[in-house]
Structure 1
């Protein structure tokens, strides 16, 4: 198995990439600092990537040290729409939306909190169903059950900047590998906290496939699992028993996770994800060809 190389040597965590008229653009957590959040990279061919600075104009009412996480972008009626979260480190994150006329930005926040009634929400991922309906998948916290922690949910987008109805819980932790931290102090109590995050959905082979990350993004427990359903709202069933798509050790990777799926100009899919460098100080982006069969996706490491 060939060990893939990152497509860029800087930090670009939680990478999301999509095709644009003149090539491809990738967005990720991190960035050049200053007045804009989120790293932006562009490429004509998925091989050579160029640093294009920051994507999002920072919010004036958020403190300078606020954390901006996991952007994903959709192209809706001629406008580029970015979904992201902002908060203080690992608490009080809320979902936000920003727009731009250029995929390279600058994106300007639309002034809307998409999750005002949730104590914590991250990793928004827009998905357009075959009937044209838009949905927003995301992660939020749920304290009930045997494995309390961060779970996966979905809500219908009434417009690019507004949600309809209430969140529908789709998937929660079921296994030890999904533990974020034992005896974690949070919400005024202590929990063996589990985390599912980074949902990303595609429709292939007549079914809906949801990639998700789990474990602790800071260490070797982090990886990518898979669930499948016959409808956007489920029920969703796990595929395999662990981090079946990505895990530490596969192809020599360290802490791989938070993926998206990019379809290129030829109609071929690619798995876009991050993994740590050897010093474990930078999460760098990877792009690996992705094939499909009746059992789901198959990363083609030898073609990476």
Structure 2
């Protein structure tokens, strides 16, 4: 087993990485090109979070051309992949869907259901199970109204899952873009208008000391302002409050003079020791040839999450 690692931990494109730990094995899913046979969503396998082997593509295609941000939940012996799919290059027609499999590596077969049928755009589904067993789905939608200090753009909401393929239809706002570093693109033509578009996306939730931390990635995914911050609540449905110091990405951002750009869209998993928490995220290389999977340890200091990442030098392995 490796004693050190160095980011990225996998050489090929693996954006929006999500890691599922099941029966002692880690499975990673991400946004990346499909296979020659049309299957989507590459799957990697590891026992230590450092050495990863590809095991093929897991999702049977449904006729769309763009598949984004898969995350997988295990429930009562089956596996549920939440993902979005659409055909437009800018992704403005992305619909949130769920596919089902009997094994973490698939094949996943789409359920045929749209999770948020009344939205023209819904992405980044993040399933979260609370301590009482109730499942919730965090996901992203667009907001065209500017209220208080909330900006126009993409934000995160949460809804209760009635079952693993059905939402209650009562979404609550978790966080909307509200800082200058959340800008995605100024003067963006959207929905028949032109907006200074801001984005927060890629929810990942942890429960710590009885409170629920929703981590998010803000900014432009293809630029160096992309980074990770959080909001916190006493219940998965909120209300969520912002921590102090949110004028910059609090958990992770592009380091000055570093080898990695735009770290973000993360998930969390427990290390092989069963106790440490690891953040799994993507980052660009300096030449921006691709977003690749990275890992770093997450710790809590004075009640706040912290990580040394993004790291690009040798680190102690999980």
Q: TM-score, normalised by structure 2?
A: 0.90
Q: Do structure 1's residue 275 and structure 2's residue 283 form an aligned pair? A: yes
CA distance in 2, matches of 1:117, 1:138: 14
In the comparison of the two structures, how many residue pairs are matched?
Answer: 299
Instruction: Report the counterpart of residue 38 of structure 1 in structure 2.
Output: 41
CA distance in 1, matches of 2:156, 2:97: 17
1:253, distance to aligned residue in structure 2 (A): 2.2
SS of 1:247's partner is: coil
Instruction: Report the counterpart of residue 91 of structure 1 in structure 2.
Output: 92
Instruction: Report the counterpart of residue 169 of structure 2 in structure 1.
Output: 165
1:293, distance to aligned residue in structure 2 (A): 3.2
CA distance in 1, matches of 2:170, 2:220: 28
Instruction: Report the counterpart of residue 261 of structure 1 in structure 2.
Output: 268
Instruction: Report the counterpart of residue 244 of structure 1 in structure 2.
Output: 250
CA deviations 1:65-84 (Å, max 9, x no partner) are x2100000010000011100
1:303, distance to aligned residue in structure 2 (A): 3.6
Q: Do structure 1's residue 24 and structure 2's residue 35 form an aligned pair? A: no
CA distance in 1, matches of 2:232, 2:119: 26
1:277, distance to aligned residue in structure 2 (A): 1.9
1:29, distance to aligned residue in structure 2 (A): 0.3
In structure 2, relative to structure 1, the CA distance for the partners of 1:128 and 1:160 (3 Å cut) is same
1:115, distance to aligned residue in structure 2 (A): 1.0
SS of 1:9's partner is: coil
CA distance in 1, matches of 2:303, 2:280: 20
Instruction: Report the counterpart of residue 312 of structure 2 in structure 1.
Output: none
Q: Do structure 1's residue 74 and structure 2's residue 70 form an aligned pair? A: no
Instruction: Report the counterpart of residue 287 of structure 1 in structure 2.
Output: 295
Structure 1: 5+ residue runs without aligned partners? none
Instruction: Report the counterpart of residue 60 of structure 2 in structure 1.
Output: 57
In structure 2, relative to structure 1, the CA distance for the partners of 1:24 and 1:260 (3 Å cut) is same
Q: Which has the higher strand share?
A: 1
SS of 1:246's partner is: coil
Q: What does 1:179-218 align with in structure 2 at a 5 Å threshold?
A: 179-218=183-222
CA distance in 2, matches of 1:82, 1:268: 25
CA distance in 2, matches of 1:8, 1:49: 7
Q: Any conservation in 1 of the 2:48–2:271 contact (CA below 8 Å)? A: no
CA distance in 1, matches of 2:316, 2:140: 32
CA distance in 1, matches of 2:219, 2:306: 22
Moved over 6 A (4+): none
1:4, distance to aligned residue in structure 2 (A): 4.3
CA distance in 2, matches of 1:77, 1:127: 15
SS of 1:91's partner is: coil
Q: Any conservation in 2 of the 1:31–1:40 contact (CA below 8 Å)? A: no
Instruction: Report the counterpart of residue 101 of structure 2 in structure 1.
Output: 100
Q: Any conservation in 2 of the 1:70–1:84 contact (CA below 8 Å)? A: yes
Instruction: Report the counterpart of residue 48 of structure 1 in structure 2.
Output: 51
- Supply the RMSD in Å over aligned alpha carbons: 1.7
Instruction: Report the counterpart of residue 180 of structure 2 in structure 1.
Output: 176
